[in-house]
Chain A
Amino acid sequence: MARVPGICSLCKDKDYPPCTVFSIPTFNNKPKYHKFYNFLRQDIVGEKKYLTCEEACPDSLILDEVGLKLNSENCIGVGLCLINCPFGVLEFNSNFSVQQGPLSEDERAELRRKVGCFFNGNPFPVPEKIVGGRRISLETYTAEKETKHLSTWAASVLKFLSGDSHSYVGLEIEILRAKKPRDGRIDVCARSGDDVLIVESKVSLEKAVTEGSFHIQMKGYLEESEKFISKYNKLFDASLRRYAILLIGGRESDLLPPGHKSNTGVVGGYNKRFYEIVEREKIKFVSATALWCLLVWSVVAGRKLHWDLVCEDVLFKKNVFGLLSGGIVAKERDKFLLKSVTPEKIDSIVRDAS
Chain B
Amino acid sequence: MAVLINRNPVGRLICLHSLLRYLFAQFGMEEFTLNDLKYDKKKRHTITDFCPLLLKISSVRSRVCPYLKTPLSEAVCYLTQSVEYDSQKSKSASDALNALDGLGWVDRGTQSSRITSFGETIAAKDFNALGDLLLESVLSYGPFVGFLWKALANSRGAVVKRGDIFAGFPDTKEVYEEGGRKILLSTGSRKDTNVRTKSVLFCWGLSVGLFSPLSKVDIASYILEQRWTLREFKINYSEKLFSGLYVKRPLEYQWLTKSTKALRERYQGPQRETTLRLEGKVQNRRFAVVYSLAKAAEIGKGINYERLIDRLQEEKEFVINTAPFRQVMELEKEVAWLAGIPFREKGGILIPKTRIDMKIAKRGAPEKILSFLDSIMEEVILDG
**B70 contacts A48, CB within 8 Å?**
yes
Q: Is B128 an interface residue, CB under 8 A from the partner? A: no
Near A by CB (< 8 A), chain B positions 59-75 give 59-62, 69-74
Residues of A within 8 A of B59 (CB): 17, 20-21, 51-54, 61-63, 68
Q: Is A147 an interface residue, CB under 8 A from the partner? A: yes
Q: Is A181 an interface residue, CB under 8 A from the partner? A: yes
Q: A181-B266, A182-B266 are in contact. Are A63 and B72 (CB under 8 A)?
A: no
Report B67 CB to chain A, min CB distance, Å.
13
**Which of B57, B58, B72, B264 is most buried by chain A, counting CB atoms within 10 A of its CB?**
B58
**B60 contacts A21, CB within 8 Å?**
yes
Q: Is A334 an interface residue, CB under 8 A from the partner? A: no
Residues of A within 8 A of B264 (CB): 182
Contacts A51-B70, A51-B72 aside, 19 further interface pairs with beta carbons under 8 A come to: A15-B61, A20-B60, A21-B59, A21-B60, A48-B70, A49-B70, A50-B72, A51-B59, A51-B71, A61-B59, A62-B58, A63-B58, A63-B59, A63-B61, A147-B69, A152-B70, A181-B266, A182-B264, A182-B266
Q: Is A59 an interface residue, CB under 8 A from the partner? A: yes
Near B by CB (< 8 A), chain A positions 100-151 give 147-148
**B71 contacts A54, CB within 8 Å?**
yes
One digit per residue, 1 when the CB lies within 8 angstroms of any chain B CB and 0 when it does not, for chain A 63-75 equals 1000010000000
Residues of A within 8 A of B73 (CB): 48-49
Report A63 CB to chain B, min CB distance, Å.
6
Q: Secondary structure of the B side of the interface?
A: loop
A62 to B61, CA, bound (A): 10
**Which of B59, B61, B72 is most buried by chain A, counting CB atoms within 10 A of its CB?**
B59
Q: A21-B72, A148-B69, A148-B70 are in contact. Are A51 and B60 (CB under 8 A)?
A: yes
Residues of B within 8 A of A17 (CB): 59-60
Q: Is A87 an interface residue, CB under 8 A from the partner? A: no
Output the nearest chain B residue to A47 by Cβ-Cβ distance.
B74
| A residues neighboring B (CB under 8 Å) | 15-17, 20-21, 48-54, 58-59, 61-63, 68, 147-148, 152, 181-182
**A50 contacts B70, CB within 8 Å?**
yes
Report B37 CB to chain A, min CB distance, Å.
22
**A15 contacts B71, CB within 8 Å?**
no
Residues of A within 8 A of B72 (CB): 16, 21, 48-51
Residues of A within 8 A of B70 (CB): 48-51, 148, 152
Q: Secondary structure of the A side of the interface?
A: mixed
Can you sample 25 A-B contacts with CB below 8 Å?
A: A15-B61, A15-B62, A16-B62, A17-B59, A20-B59, A20-B60, A21-B59, A50-B70, A51-B57, A51-B70, A51-B71, A51-B72, A54-B57, A54-B59, A54-B71, A59-B58, A61-B58, A61-B59, A62-B58, A63-B58, A63-B59, A63-B61, A147-B69, A148-B69, A181-B266
Residues of B within 8 A of A63 (CB): 58-61
Report A81 CB to chain B, min CB distance, Å.
8
Near A by CB (< 8 A), chain B positions 63-119 give 69-74
Report B64 CB to chain A, min CB distance, Å.
9
Question: Which 4 residue pairs of A and B lie closest in terms of their CB atoms, listed nearest first?
Answer: A61-B59, A20-B59, A49-B72, A15-B61
A51 to B266, CA, bound (A): 36
Residues of A within 8 A of B58 (CB): 54, 58-59, 61-63
Report A67 CB to chain B, min CB distance, Å.
12
A68 to B60, CA, bound (A): 9
Output the nearest chain A residue to B62 by Cβ-Cβ distance.
A15
Q: A181-B266, A182-B266 are in contact. Are A15 and B69 (CB under 8 A)?
A: no
A53 to B60, CA, bound (A): 11
**Which of A21, A58, A148 is most buried by chain B, counting CB atoms within 10 A of its CB?**
A21
A52 to B69, CA, bound (A): 15
Residues of B within 8 A of A147 (CB): 69
Output the nearest chain B residue to A22 by Cβ-Cβ distance.
B72
Report A76 CB to chain B, min CB distance, Å.
15
Output the nearest chain B residue to A32 by Cβ-Cβ distance.
B265
Near A by CB (< 8 A), chain B positions 29-73 give 57-62, 69-73
Output the nearest chain A residue to B84 by Cβ-Cβ distance.
A46
Residues of B within 8 A of A50 (CB): 70, 72
Residues of B within 8 A of A58 (CB): 58
Residues of B within 8 A of A148 (CB): 69-70
Residues of B within 8 A of A15 (CB): 60-62
A52 to B58, CA, bound (A): 12
A61 to B61, CA, bound (A): 12
A63 to B63, CA, bound (A): 13
Residues of A within 8 A of B62 (CB): 15-16
A138 to B71, CA, bound (A): 20
Q: A181-B266, A182-B266 are in contact. Are A16 and B69 (CB under 8 A)?
A: no
Output the nearest chain B residue to A180 by Cβ-Cβ distance.
B266
Output the nearest chain A residue to B58 by Cβ-Cβ distance.
A62
A252 to B59, CA, bound (A): 30
Report A72 CB to chain B, min CB distance, Å.
14
Residues of A within 8 A of B71 (CB): 51, 54
A16 to B70, CA, bound (A): 15
Residues of A within 8 A of B266 (CB): 181-182
A182 to B268, CA, bound (A): 14
Residues of B within 8 A of A16 (CB): 60-62, 72
A11 to B264, CA, bound (A): 48
Report B294 CB to chain A, min CB distance, Å.
41
Output the nearest chain A residue to B70 by Cβ-Cβ distance.
A50
Residues of B within 8 A of A182 (CB): 264, 266
Output the nearest chain A residue to B85 by Cβ-Cβ distance.
A46
A147 to B70, CA, bound (A): 10
A50 to B72, CA, bound (A): 6
A21 to B60, CA, bound (A): 8
Report A126 CB to chain B, min CB distance, Å.
22
